[in-house]
Structure 1
Amino acid sequence: MESSHIISIVKVQMKKENNNKILPRDKHNETRNIIHSIKVGVSLVLVSLMYLLNPLFHQVGENAMWAVMTVIVIFEFSAGATLGKGFNRGMGTIVGGGLGWLAAIFAQSIGGVGNSIIIGISVYICGTVGTYIRLIPRVKERYEYGVVTLMLTFNLVVMYGLRANEKVWEITRQRLLSILMGFIVCICVSLFIFPLWASDELHHSTVSTFHDLANTIQGCLEENGTLVSENESQLIAGFNFCNSVLNSKSEDELLANSARWEPWHGKFGFCYPWENYLKIASVLRELATFILVVGHSLQSSKQDMACLRQSHSEQLETCEAIGSRVAWALRELGDSMKQMKKCEENNKGSSILAKLKACKAELSMVISTSKVAILENGQVLAISSLVFLLMKVVEKVEELVQEVEELGQNAAFRINITIPLSS
C-alpha cells in the first residue's frame, strides 16, 4: 500500500468521524478569551478619550473615529498578530496617504480636465499594481493587509483631494495622527497587560503533540488496548486527537506568522527559527496519518489478531515492544523541545536513531519466511499490514529526529545528557 493511498483512506475516515462531533470546552482557552476581551474593551475606552478630551479632539477632529476603527481592526488575540497587523496598517496608511497626497497636489497643479485625468490614471495604477502585489504568495502571507490598507488610503485621500482642494493635507494629517494613536494604544495594551504570545502557543502545542502521539501509538499496540478491545473509548480519543493534528496546518501557519512579529520574550530571541516548527508540524501530521491507519488496521483485523495472540504471540509482542520504543523516542524529542536542550547521547548505541534502526531490523524479522509460513492467510495479511505501517511510523520518527536536531542547531539549544532506555 502506497503512502498516498493511506492518506486518502485517512481523509475519508476523518470526514466520517468528524460529523456531528462536539469538542469539550477548554477552561484554559476560555480564560484567555476573557483576558483578550477585557483588553479590547480597555483599548476602546482609551481611544474614546480622543472624543472626550477637548485638547485631543482639537488635534484630530472628527477623524478620531479612525482611532476607534484601528483598535477594532488590528487588535488580535496574540501580541504578535497585533504587531503584524498594526505594522501593516501603519505602513499602508503612511505610504498610501503620502502617495495619495502627492497625486492630489499634482492633479490640482494641472487643473481643468487634466485634474480628473491624472486622478483617474493614478487610481487605476494603484488598484492594478496593488492587487497584483498582494497576490504574490510571500506578500500575501505577511503583508496583504498592508497592501489593502495602502490602496484604500490612497483612494480616499486622492478622491477627497479632488473636491477638498486646500484641505487635503490637513485631512491626511489628522487621519494619520488618529490611526497612529490607535496603533500605540493597541500595542501598549497588547504587550504590557497580560500579553498572550503566539510563540508560546505554537511551542507548547508542538511539544504536546509529541507526547499525545506517543500515548496514541502505545495505546494502539499495548496488550490491554486495541487488540483485545477492552479500552475502546481511550482508542477513540486517540483517533480524535490524530484527526485534530491532521487539521492543524492552517492554525500552525497562523501562529508561526504571528510569532515572527513578536519581540524578545521568555526563551525566544529575535529571528527565532519558527520555520523549523512548521517543518516539524508537517512531519507530525504525516506521522498522525500512519498512526491513525495503524489503529484502523488493528480494528479491522481484530479477530485475526486475537487468534494470532493465542497461537503465535511472539510477533505481536515484538510489535508492542517496538511501539513502546517509538513512544519513548517521541517523548524524548518532545522533552528536548520543551526544555530547549539538545539530546546528546552517552554513546552511539544509546542514540535515538540507533534504537529506531534496531526497531526496523526487528520488524523485518517479524515477517520472515520461516515465521510467516506457519500462519493462516488472514493472519499473514494482518501481521504484514501492521509491520508495514509500523515501518512507516519508525521512518517518520527518524525524520522528526533530524528536524528536531536542526531546530536545536538553529535555535542554539543547550546540551542535555539523556538516560538511555533499558533494553
Structure 2
Amino acid sequence: MASTVIDIPGAEIVPCRKQKTNKFYDIFCPPIVLFLTEIKSNRQGMRKVIHSIKAGIALVLVSLLYLLDPLYTQVGQNGMWAIMTVVLIFEFYAGATLSKGINRGIGTLLGGGLGCLAAALAQAVGGAGKAVIVAITVFIFGAAATYSRQVPNIKRKFDYGAMVFILTFNLVVVSGLRAKQVLEIARDRLSTIAMGFAVCLFVSLLVFPIWASDELHDSLVSRFEHLATSLQGFCEEYFGNVDEDEKKKISVDFSSKCKSVLHTKMKDETLVNFARWEPWHGKFGFFYPWGKYLKIGEDLRDLATIILSLKACLMHSSESSTRRRLAKEPCEAIVAQLARMLRELGESVKRMKKCESEDKIVSKLKTVRQEVRLIANLSTVGMNHLEKIDGLGIASFVCSMMEMVEKMEELAKQVEQLGQLCGFSSND
C-alpha cells in the first residue's frame, strides 16, 4: 500500500536541535551523587571516607621529610622508604596497620641482620667462595622463609613479615657491598621505616580509629537477630495464612539473612587476627578471648544451616491441613521461645552483661526438647490413618527443631563461657 503525504499549508519545517550535553556533568556528577548518598545512608561509607582522609594526612606528614630542609638534611633520599612504608602498611583497621607495621619491622630487622652477617662471611671468604656463600645462604633462608609462609599459624599472623624478610635479606646479601656499608645503609633505611611506621600509628590509633574488634563484635551481635527473624519468618510462612506474594517476600527475606550468616567465616578469621594486635581500648582489654567469638560464630553458622534447611519442608505444602493445624500451636510456641532466647543471648553479648534468664536458658531448652518430642509423637502416632507422604513436611520440621534445640544448648554454653572469661557484669 502506497503511503499518502499530506501537506499542511503555512507550516514551516523546523530542524531538530540536538540537546546539549554537559560532558563534565555526565562524567563527574553521578559518582559524586552516589558517593554522597552512600555517606548519608551507610555507616560503612562514612568510615571509608574517614579512612581515606586519614591516609591523606599520613602521606602529608611523612612527606615533610622531603619538604622541610632540616629533615631532608638528616634523612636524604632514604626518606623515600618512609613514604613507601606508609603506602604499604596503612590499612583500614587499626589492628591491621599495627600488624603490618610490626611485621615489617621484624622482617626488616631479621632480614637486614642476617643479610649483614652473610655478606660479612662472604667478604671474609673472598674470591670464588664469595659467590658460593651468597648462593647457599640465599637458598637456605629463602627456602626456609617461603616454607614458613605455608604454615597456617605463621601465615595467618606473620605472612607479611616473612615476605619482607625474604626481600630484605636478598637485597642486603646480594648487594655485594662491603660489610661496613651494608650496616650503614641498613641502619638508615630502618630508621626511616620506623618514622613511617610511627606516622601510621599516630594517625591510625589517635585520629578517629577504626577498630577491627568493634566491627567483629557488632557483626556477631547482629547475627543473633538475623537468625531469630529468619526463624520467625519461616514459621509465619509455613503455618500462617498469607497470600503467595507475601509468602515469596518472607521466603526471600529469611533465606537472605541466613545466607549472610553462612558467609562470615573468612570475615571472622580476618577480624580476629587484626583484633588480637590492637591495644587496650574501650571495652576490650589485653588478651581478650577472641577465639570464643570464632566458636560462637561457628555455632551460629551451624544454626543458620539448620534454619535454611527448613525450606525443604515447604516442598510438602499439600500435606493434610489437619496435621498442620494439629502441630501449629505448639510449633509456633517453641519457635517463639527459640527466637526470644536468641535475642537474649545476642543482647547479652552486645551489652557485655549477663542476661536476666541466662542461667535458666539451658534448663528451658531441655523443656523445649521434651515439647518437641511430644509433637513428634503426636504427629506420628495420632495421624496413622493418613498416608506417610502427607507428614513429610511436619516430620522434617520437627527433626530440624530437635537439631536447633541441641545447637542452641551449645550456643548458650559458649556465650556463658564468654561471659565468664570476659567478666560480664550482672544485669541490674
**Structure 1 counterpart of 2:98:** 83
Q: Which range moved further: 151-160 or 247-256? A: 151-160
**Structure 2 counterpart of 1:332:** 344
**Structure 1 counterpart of 2:402:** 391
**Structure 1 counterpart of 2:331:** 319
In the alignment, which of 200, 215, 235 is matched to residue 201 of structure 1? 215
Residues 17-416 of structure 1 mapped to structure 2, 5 A cutoff: 27-160=42-175, 162-163=176-177, 166-222=180-236, 228=242, 229=244, 230-294=246-310, 296-304=311-319, 307-308=320-321, 313-343=325-355, 345=357, 351-368=360-377, 369-416=380-427
Paired with 1:219 and 1:252, the residues of 2 have a C-alpha distance of 26
CA contact (8 A) 1:290 1:392 kept: yes
What SS does the corresponding residue of 1:367 show, helix, strand or coil? helix
CA contact (8 A) 1:85 1:145 kept: yes
**1:189, distance to aligned residue in structure 2 (A):** 0.3
Larger Cα Rg: Structure 1 or Structure 2?
Answer: 2
TM-score between both structures, scaled by the size of structure 2: 0.85
Which residue identity lines up with residue 153 of structure 2 in the other structure?
A: R
TM-score between both structures, scaled by the size of structure 1: 0.86
What SS does the corresponding residue of 2:427 show, helix, strand or coil? strand
What SS does the corresponding residue of 2:355 show, helix, strand or coil? strand
Which residue identity lines up with residue 427 of structure 2 in the other structure?
A: N
Q: Which range moved further: 34-43 or 61-70? A: 61-70
**1:150, distance to aligned residue in structure 2 (A):** 1.0
Paired with 1:388 and 1:408, the residues of 2 have a C-alpha distance of 31
Q: Deviations over 1:106-164 (max 9, x none)?
A: 2223322222222111111110111122222211110111111111111111122x146
Paired with 2:349 and 2:191, the residues of 1 have a C-alpha distance of 44
Structure 2 unmatched ranges of 5 or more:
1-36
Paired with 1:354 and 1:46, the residues of 2 have a C-alpha distance of 59
**1:285, distance to aligned residue in structure 2 (A):** 0.5
Change beyond 3 A, Cα 1:303–1:109: same
What SS does the corresponding residue of 1:393 show, helix, strand or coil? helix
Give percent identity, aligned residues only: 49
Paired with 2:44 and 2:237, the residues of 1 have a C-alpha distance of 35
Paired with 1:365 and 1:408, the residues of 2 have a C-alpha distance of 33
CA contact (8 A) 1:220 1:226 kept: no
CA contact (8 A) 2:108 2:168 kept: yes
4+ runs deviating over 6 angstroms: 223-227
**1:169, distance to aligned residue in structure 2 (A):** 2.1
Change beyond 3 A, Cα 1:223–1:250: closer
Paired with 2:139 and 2:412, the residues of 1 have a C-alpha distance of 52
Across the aligned residues of Structure 1 and Structure 2, the Cα RMSD in angstroms comes to: 2.1
Paired with 1:139 and 1:301, the residues of 2 have a C-alpha distance of 50
CA contact (8 A) 2:212 2:274 kept: yes
